[in-house]
Amino acid sequence: MTRTVTATAHPNIALVKYWGKRDIPLNLPAVPSLSLTLDGFATNTQLTWGTVADEVWLNDQPAPAKFTSKVLKFLSLMVPDRPPVVVRTWNNFPTGAGLASSASGFAALALATASAAELDLSMEQLSAFARQGSGSASRSLWGGYVRWNMGEQLDGSDSHGEQVADESHWDLRMVVGVVSEEKKAVGSTEGMERSRLTSALYRTWVDQAAADVVVGTQAVLDRDLEALGRVMESSTFKMHATMHTSQPPLQYWAPGSVACQRAIWELRERRGVSAWVTMDAGPQVKVLCKPDDAEEVALAMAPHTQATHILGPGGPAVVREG
C-alpha cells in the first residue's frame, strides 16, 4: 500500500555564517552558526512511499540526475531498507542561486521521510539527518531564530539545530535583492574545502566564529538590531574574504551585488536607516532591517536587481497527509 505525505519548510538565511567542514561524510561544520527562518519562500515536498520505482520531480519536471541521486541517497540514509518512492518537490523561489533552496529542501524531505516511514525521531534527530543532506537544512526545521551547534560527538549526533527564539519573538525583515538567477559556479562543499585548503584567512575565520555566534545570539535575545547587524556584516565579510583569498578565488558576487551593498551602506550613513547586508554563496544581497524600513531598503536595491522580496520571520517545517 502506498502512503503520501507533504512537508513544507522555509529557507533560512544565516545571520552568523557557516563556511567550512570538519567532517565531509557526516557533514559536520568547522563553525557554529545562527540563522533566521523566512516566511514567504517555501519548499513543498510530496513523498509517496511504496511505489513501483523511484522517481524524483523538481518544479513539475523530471529532476536533473545529480539532484535525483542526492535525494535518493538521502532517503536511503534515513531508511536503509526503504521501498521505492516518488518525490515531487516545488520551490516558489529560484533553486540553487544562493537563496537557500537546499536548506528548505532537505528539511522538508527529512520531515516527509520520517512521517511516511513512521520513524519516531526528535526534532534534534531530524535536524541531524537534515544536516547530512545540506548543512544549512539542520536550521530549517524550526521557525524564527535558530543556532546550529557544532557538537562534539564523533558520530555527529549532537551537531543539530536548536531554536533560540521563535518567529513571534522579534518582527524583523530580510529584504532579498535578486541580482541574478544564474546557478552558482562552485557548490558549497567544493568551495568550503577549497577555502580550508588554500585560504590564508581560513584559520582566523574559524577561530572567530564561536564568539560571533555568542554575540549574535545575545543580540537576538535583546532585540538589538544594531548589534545583530554589526556581527552579521562582520561574519558575512569575513566569510567572503576567506572565499576571495582561496586559490583559485571564489567570487560569488556580481557587479549588481556590490552596487546593492553600497546603496544600503549609503542609506545607513546618510539617512540613518538601520539596514545591514548579508550574502551567501551566490550573488543575491539580503538586508536585515525593521519592518517600517523594508520598502525603503527594497527601493534602494531596485535599480541593481531583477526583483526584491520582503520576507519576515517564518515558522517551523510542517507535514500533512496527502
Please give the residue ranges that form the binding site for ligand PMV (CB under 6 A).
14, 17-19, 33, 102, 134-136, 188, 280-281
Least spacing, CB of residue 81 vs ligand PMV, in Å? 28
Please provide residue 164's backbone torsions phi and psi, each rounded to the nearest 5 degrees: -90, -45
Query: How many CB atoms are located within 10 Å of the residue 310 CB?
Result: 16
Residue closer to ligand PMV, measured from CB, 188 or 199? 188
Residue closer to ligand PMV, measured from CB, 267 or 279? 279
Residue closer to ligand PMV, measured from CB, 35 or 305? 35
Least spacing, CB of residue 196 vs ligand PMV, in Å? 13
Least spacing, CB of residue 236 vs ligand PMV, in Å? 9
Least spacing, CB of residue 33 vs ligand PMV, in Å? 5
Residue closer to ligand PMV, measured from CB, 263 or 281? 281
Please provide residue 244's backbone torsions phi and psi, each rounded to the nearest 5 degrees: -65, -25
Least spacing, CB of residue 267 vs ligand PMV, in Å? 24
Who's near 310: CB < 8 A, 6+ residues apart? 40, 173, 175, 294, 295, 298
The three-class DSSP label of residue 285 is strand
**Strand ranges for the chain from DSSP E:** 3-9, 12-16, 21-23, 28-29, 33-37, 43-49, 55-58, 61-62, 85-91, 145-148, 161-165, 173-178, 276-278, 285-289, 307-311, 318-321
Least spacing, CB of residue 307 vs ligand PMV, in Å? 20
Residue closer to ligand PMV, measured from CB, 35 or 115? 35
Residue closer to ligand PMV, measured from CB, 99 or 319? 99
CA dihedral sign of residues 116, 120, 124, 130:
negative
Who's near 58: CB < 8 A, 6+ residues apart? 64, 67, 89, 90, 91, 95
Please provide residue 195's backbone torsions phi and psi, each rounded to the nearest 5 degrees: -65, -45
